[in-house]
Amino acid sequence: MINIGDTFLLENPDNPLKHLYFVISYPTHDNKILLVNVTKYKVGKDTSCVLYRGDHPFIEQKSIINYAEPLEPDRTAFDSCVKKNYFDEEGPASKELIKRIQEGAKISTALPKKYERYFDFFNK
């Protein structure tokens, strides 16, 4: 079963290059979960959450969380895809890192407003 803190390499619908996605919420009442991806640091981009080498084994350089393009899959369907090995699992993120990513989501102006409902599902 998918858990908060799990990470996966996924293709973004607009970009065939795989990015590391973090599960940052517990399931909502309609069984959706929120995932955000990490991307290279670039001047002028949203720096609500900056990651550094060592924050997660996948991170090799200064990076940022891309709050502008989150995913909200159905947890059961996503879990089924994971069990069928459709996605590459990259090991769980630490609780501290997930907390930083969640806090960044709360202050990011790039996160579309409709995803703010997930703030209530960051903690159990």
- pTM across the whole model: 0.94
Map residue 77 onto helix, strand or coil.
helix
Residue 105: enclosing H or E segment and its boundaries? helix 95-107
Report d(CA 55, CA 3) in Å as an integer. Answer: 19
Report d(CA 35, CA 67) in Å as an integer. Answer: 9
User: Where along the chain do its domains lie?
Assistant: 7-121
Question: pLDDT at position 74, please?
Answer: 97
Residues in the chain: 124
Which DSSP letter does residue 47 get?
Answer: -
pLDDT tens, per residue, the chain with 124 residues = 899 999 999 987 677 788 999 999 999 999 999 999 999 999 999 999 999 999 999 999 999 999 999 999 999 999 999 999 998 999 999 999 999 999 999 999 999 999 999 999 999 7
User: 116: exposed, middle or buried (C-beta count within 10 Å: 0-12, 13-18, 19+)?
Assistant: exposed
Task: Please give the CATH architecture assigned to the domain spanning 7-121.
Answer: Roll (2.30)
Question: pLDDT at position 48, please?
Answer: 98
Question: pLDDT at position 16, please?
Answer: 76
